[in-house]
Structure 1
Amino acid sequence: MRTRPFLQVDVFGSGPYRGNPVAVILDAEGLSDAEMQRIATWTNLSETTFVLPPTEPGADCHARIFTVTEELPFAGHPTLGTARAWLEAGNEPAVPGQVTQQCGAGLVQVRVDGEALAFAAPPRLRDGAPTEDELAAACERLRIGRDEVVDAAWVDNGPGWLGLLLADADRVLACAPDASPRPERGFYGIVAPHRSGGPEGVALEVRAFVFDADAPVWEDPVTGSLNASLAQWLTESGHITAPYLARQGTAMGRDGRVSVTADAGAIWVGGLTHVAVRGSIEA
């Protein structure tokens, strides 16, 4: 056991403490998979990352991403939070203004613009329309009428997201899912445009729900991976044009802002990053 640098980073907030926090353990060499999982369970945040020397050519650092129960190949706000912590520790990327971060899904490029960071959306592992049975199951869990769904698609870039487009942001904010325990897992993202009354400059309202036997319903405050794959789907299908700004976390008392831009065929997902806690952990 030794002392390792520990930071907690607020990601995607419109200001400090309004986004989604991630715990970052720098200098994680020597920790076993079980030790990383135990620490991630103990922090009790949606994700905890562990920074290691890269093993892939061209990578500046290697981030392993854990939820309280499992390791993920990729997640958006941990990617940006890890890059911010790595930079705060005095590291410099090989390419100025761009951190190349290794994760389970491969190499992810992170652009640096002051406190704002943005990652290149990774390829989806699954896309296309869900079956009517899959969509009906999602609508039942979310307590959304089938006739309220404007469009739906698999937008899975790791967790297993199914995206549902509704007609108006007010309906997204009013969504109250069925929280009764069930054995099957579900990862659902709902999104809708702001027709009126939304904050200036915000085009979309987003919410992310995870259903699990151990946690019947859980809402993520601000979700980079979901916003990335939603952006790919919605821009490709013509529902929206980048650049645009999405809001998430409203129903939870957060105020997340996710910027989406398109550049040379790639979707970039970004927001503000703020180091909220600096210290060390004994591990």
Structure 2
Amino acid sequence: MKTLHYTLVDVFTNKPFGGNQLAVFKDDGTLPTELMQKIARELNLSETVFIRPSRNNTADKELRIFTPQIELPIAGHPTVGAAYVLGNEQINSLTQGENKVVFETGVGDITVQIYKDNNGISSVEMTQKTPEFGPVYEDIERVAELLSLSPDDIERNIPVQTVSTGVPFLFIPIRTLAAMEKIKLRTDIWEQSFRVDSNTEHIFTFTSETMNEASTVHSRMFAPAMGIAEDPATGNASGPLGAYLVEHSVVSSSKQTYHIRSEQGIEMGRPSFIDVTVTKRAEQYEQVKISGNCVTIGSGQLVIE
């Protein structure tokens, strides 16, 4: 018998019971992939992460990230949450200000900054890969059907388009907050027209109308292909979201750096706030970062034969 211990954290929030839940396991590298997937299915959180010894000389640790149905090459809230747990449980080894950890992932090494002040960890910041802009989806009526909305609810001044920093998401701009609240994803339409293409199977909706004055956009994300009906906070989509907003001039800046805040999970009763920083010079995206905080909410153990 083997006992596996995990820490339960809420990610992209500074209050318990907000943000996105995450189970963080510290694994010695011996757990087989099939067992890690079963554990993620058993816990049934949007993601479960395993921190393992790195297999290369350029990273501090390896991350293996699982939804209830599939393993992901990279994901935002597990990466941020894993860094928080490493820092929080070894708090004395952190220095005031900025601390760096490098994770080996399915898309290469990812750098995470852990910021510490007198009260503990104040923020965790993840650097994402350079954004890649995919195809524009032209069938607005089908998009509206997918979301149980009218075509008039879809914003026409900017495109429905796929963007990725490791995992592609289809970004759908919505005109109003009222329409966002009415969204009901139709899985029959998704199966017929969206799941068939990796560029369109993960659905991210947003509007520039927000509930909080400090927010830039109000967001909702649906990923049935990952076993996630709706996600309360999606870090891996928030970097591409920031790049999309910059690319299509939804946000502005007097300099080359853009600061964006996405509020998400409010319809689910789990308010989340993800800060996105995008640096673009001329036509070149130099840096995309996401950041937020976490709260430790509990711990547990699994007994495995």
On whether the aligned pair clears a TM of 0.5, the verdict is: yes
TM superposition score category, shorter chain reference? 0.7 to 0.9
Within 2, Cα distance between the matches of 1:225 and 1:175? 21
Higher strand proportion (structure 1 or 2): 2
Cα distance per residue 1:182-235 (max 9 Å; x no partner): 64522110111127xx322112100001244x96x8111111111111111111
**Distance (whole Å) between structure 2 residues aligned to residue 199 and residue 40 of structure 1:** 33
For residues 282 and 86 of structure 1, the distance between their equivalents in structure 2, rounded to whole angstroms, comes to 23
The DSSP-based 3-state class of the residue aligned with 2:23 is strand
Q: Does 1:235 align with 2:241?
A: no
Equivalent AA in structure 1 for residue 289 of structure 2: W
Structure 1 length-normalised TM: 0.88
Is the 1:204–1:247 Cα contact (8 Å) retained in structure 2? Answer: yes
TM-score calculated relative to the size of structure 2: 0.82
Aligned alpha-carbon RMSD (Å):
2.6
Aligned to 2:163: 155
Aligned to 1:119: 126
Aligned-residue sequence identity (percent) comes to 27
Please tell me whether residue 191 in structure 1 is matched to residue 184 in structure 2.
Answer: no
Work out whether residues 246 and 259 of structure 1, in 8 Å CA contact, stay in contact via their aligned partners in 2. yes
Kindly indicate whether residue 213 of structure 2 is the aligned counterpart of residue 200 of structure 1.
Answer: yes
Give the corresponding residue for 2:232.
221
Q: Secondary structure at the match of 1:82?
A: helix
- CA distance in 1: counterparts of 2:127 and 2:249, whole angstroms: 20
Residue 13 of structure 1 deviates from its aligned partner by 1.9
Change (3 A) 1:138 1:123: farther
Q: Quick one: structure 1 residues 182 and 190, their matched pair in 2 at CA, closer, same or farther if it must change by over 3 Å?
A: closer
Equivalent in 132, 136, 139 of residue 130 of structure 1: 136
In structure 2, distance between residues paired with 1:76 and 1:50: 14
Distance 1:161 1:263, change over 3 A: closer
Question: Which whole-Å deviations, capped at 9, do the CAs of 1:14-43 have from their partners, x for residues lacking one?
Answer: 512111011111024211111111111101
The structure 1 residue matched to 2:292, chosen from 257, 271, 281, is 271
Determine the C-alpha separation between the residues in 2 that align with 1:275 and 1:229: 27
Matched, 1:141 2:149: no
The residue identity in structure 2 corresponding to 1:149 is: E
Separation (CA, whole Å) in 1 of partners of 2:170 and 2:128: 16
Asked if the contact 2:146/2:190 (under 8 Å) is kept, the reply is no
Aligned residue pairs, count: 277
1:130-175 C-alpha deviation (Å, 9 max, x unpaired)? 2424x54433211234442332210234443100122333322232
Query: Within 5 A, what are the aligned runs for 1:28-177?
Result: 28-90=28-90, 97-113=99-115, 114-124=121-131, 126-133=132-139, 135-147=140-152, 148-150=154-156, 151=158, 152-177=160-185
Aligned counterparts of 2:242 and 2:113: Cα–Cα separation in 1: 18
AA in 2 matched with 1:102: E
Partner SS, residue 155 of structure 1:
strand
Cα distance in 2 for partners of 1:22, 1:28 equals 19
Q: Quick check: 2:243–2:278 contact (8 Å CA) kept in 1?
A: no
Q: Is the 8 A contact 1:173 1:250 kept in 2?
A: no
Pick which of 14-23 and 155-164 moved more. 155-164
Cα drift, residue 96 of structure 1: 5.7
Report the AA paired with residue 214 of structure 2. Answer: G
Question: What is the distance in 2 between the residues matched to 1:102 and 1:243?
Answer: 27
Q: Unaligned 5+ residue runs, structure 1? A: none
What 5-or-longer segments of structure 2 have no aligned partner?
116-120, 196-200, 253-257, 281-285
Equivalent of residue 260 in structure 2, options 226, 235, 244: 244
Match of 2:186 in 1: 178
8 Å contact from structure 1 (residues 100, 108) kept in 2: yes
SS at match of 1:115: strand
- Checking the alignment, whether the CA contact within 8 Å between 2:180 and 2:207 is kept in structure 1 is yes
Q: Is the 8 A contact 1:99 1:110 kept in 2?
A: yes
